[in-house]
Structure 1
């Protein structure tokens, strides 16, 4: 998901209830959304933040998340765990330039450092956290836990004093759309995006949002492993190939999604070309015009079609 959801305008969204994955949210854990992402980055000047970008679709994620929660809590506030659900917060995942799910990063003094773009074995978590605490200490941070009182959820002293700047408000229909996505109401989100686009037809953010909702709708009940197996078993099954491309896009494998669809165009009949072209154009909207992979994919699409 190296920005498959377009150029990010950090705007106010309600913080989603609950947590990603199974289990209880950790004592030193924050759920990241657009409203608190900027504050979380600012807070990393005082507390090292282990940032996990993932999805409930990722096999084994509950075990990893449980190990991270336990390990971070055991450090007593020396560092913090921040979790991004790429399904409900796709634009945040895009802003973080994530390429694989899960992705684990260290956010320290406003700088992101990659740790892993894959599952990390649970037995390696304690050693990893020890190293992070050591790095934080070497950079001059207080790792006693005293500096963890100000979180990205807005509970810090600046908020109490009214010193934190207010997040800019989204247009009402966009806010309605994002709230609907977080509530799992994709139909409501689609309606809100469409109404906004009727009034603002050139709004790139709304176009990307609507395309993302369509993507989420198409993959709502899909099982990744079963879909991949079906596509492998029936390479001529266009529906199966389109679904896997969608799942690749949703999971952040943008090049794979584009490449799979473009490969289908070689020697294809007109119906296949029309359907693949329509799906690619939809995924280009999801990625956004600024994504560096869209231009080459568009050029290859044109070459294959004409």
Structure 2
């Protein structure tokens, strides 16, 4: 499974996407299991090195709780770190991953998978060497890296992973109960809660309707505006198959002025973590075209800005590029 001389570098963050080819349903639970409970700093048996009180450290992934963890990925990203005591890099990478995960206060969970004890986990992810990190979001594998990686490299990938997760409606937390002396989290406004409930049920049309109603009532509701943009992106990509996506990419390359193809490929780029590529694709189209199609492209670009977050530095840079081609 492991190779002492194996030193691949971590995968580029821009390669993150939800279109993995691994069928995670192939590994079935041998018996009913309770949902896995992440260990918190100070828990008996929890590994040392926790940074944030109350934050989850890790779950030890097994063949028994594997499907529970996959199901959990509908709420928060689950970062599987496949390791072996016989791979020299494994302990350092596992420690680094744990430190990084702790710092996000429950926005994702680390699932440590000992491939020596549970070889079927390696088979489920088609792992050829360890350590290997693969995230799961909404049941879909997202390859992160193989081989050694330090805190900075892992954090960079986690940042992109969380953006991909948010674009797909996976924004929950674990261990977010208020600490002693802290105020509880305020409940969502009714229409926002209705939208969240609809997203969790896979009813994107109902979620869009709820956010649109919220904006009718409060046009300055920034959260509703961002939520609507995210749901519309999810709805556009919901039924797109991998072959269809490849066909769209071919069409976009051959027909640079095909508005529909350019916008759909921009959606694919953004959902896969290629955020700057998505922005630049639409900006380039705007720079080449005029009339109604130009305005349609501009409006879509503004929607994608909302998905990423209007304070993101990549959005600020893209706004400058948009201004250059418009004026």
Check conservation: 1:31, 1:84, Cα contact below 8 A. Answer: no
- 2:129 corresponds to 1:124: yes
Find the counterpart in structure 1 of residue 322 from structure 2.
301
Q: What is the distance in 2 between the residues matched to 1:290 and 1:25?
A: 42
Which of 98, 102, 105 is the aligned partner of 1:107? 98
**Pairing of 1:133-148 with structure 2 (within 5 A):** none
Q: TM-score, normalised by structure 2?
A: 0.52
Cα distance, 1:297–1:153 mapped onto 2, change above 3 Å: closer
Q: What is the distance in 2 between the residues matched to 1:23 and 1:237?
A: 40
**Pairing of 1:57-206 with structure 2 (within 5 A):** 72-73=61-62, 106-108=97-99, 110-111=102-103, 122-125=127-130, 167-206=185-224
| Cα distance, 1:197 vs structure 2 | 1.8
**Pairing of 1:28-43 with structure 2 (within 5 A):** none
| Cα distance, 1:185 vs structure 2 | 0.6
- 2:235 corresponds to 1:217: yes
Q: What is the distance in 1 between the residues matched to 2:196 and 2:247?
A: 30
The residue matched to 1:122 in structure 2 has which SS?
coil
Check conservation: 1:211, 1:286, Cα contact below 8 A. Answer: yes
Find the counterpart in structure 2 of residue 22 from structure 1.
25
- 2:282 corresponds to 1:261: yes
What is the CA RMSD across the aligned residues, in angstroms? Answer: 4.7
Check conservation: 2:248, 2:261, Cα contact below 8 A. Answer: yes
Gaps of 5+ in 2: 1-12, 14-22, 39-51, 80-93, 111-124, 135-146, 152-172
Find the counterpart in structure 2 of residue 207 from structure 1.
225
- 1:136-187 CA-to-partner distances (Å, cap 9, x unmatched) read xxxxxxxxxxxxxxxx867xxx99xx99985431111111101101111111
Check conservation: 2:252, 2:258, Cα contact below 8 A. Answer: yes
Q: What is the distance in 2 between the residues matched to 1:168 and 1:205?
A: 14
Q: What is the distance in 1 between the residues matched to 2:251 and 2:222?
A: 34
Check conservation: 1:29, 1:83, Cα contact below 8 A. Answer: no
Gaps of 5+ in 1: 3-19, 33-40, 50-70, 97-103, 136-151
218-227 or 197-206, larger mean C-alpha shift: 218-227
Cα distance, 1:165–1:25 mapped onto 2, change above 3 Å: farther
Check conservation: 1:227, 1:244, Cα contact below 8 A. Answer: yes
| Cα distance, 1:214 vs structure 2 | 1.4
- 1:18-46 CA-to-partner distances (Å, cap 9, x unmatched) read xx9535687697699xxxxxxxx75556x
Find the counterpart in structure 1 of residue 255 from structure 2.
234
Find the counterpart in structure 2 of residue 8 from structure 1.
none
The residue matched to 1:236 in structure 2 has which SS?
coil
- 1:235-267 CA-to-partner distances (Å, cap 9, x unmatched) read 332211110001112222211110111111233
Runs of 4+ in structure 1 off by over 4 angstroms are 23-32, 41-45, 74-77, 80-85, 125-129, 162-167
| Cα distance, 1:271 vs structure 2 | 3.0
The residue matched to 1:293 in structure 2 has which SS?
helix
Q: What is the distance in 2 between the residues matched to 1:31 and 1:182?
A: 21
Q: TM-score, normalised by structure 1?
A: 0.55
Cα distance, 1:128–1:247 mapped onto 2, change above 3 Å: closer
Give aligned pairs, total.
Answer: 215
- 1:87-115 CA-to-partner distances (Å, cap 9, x unmatched) read x66xx67xx9xxxxxxx9923372369x9
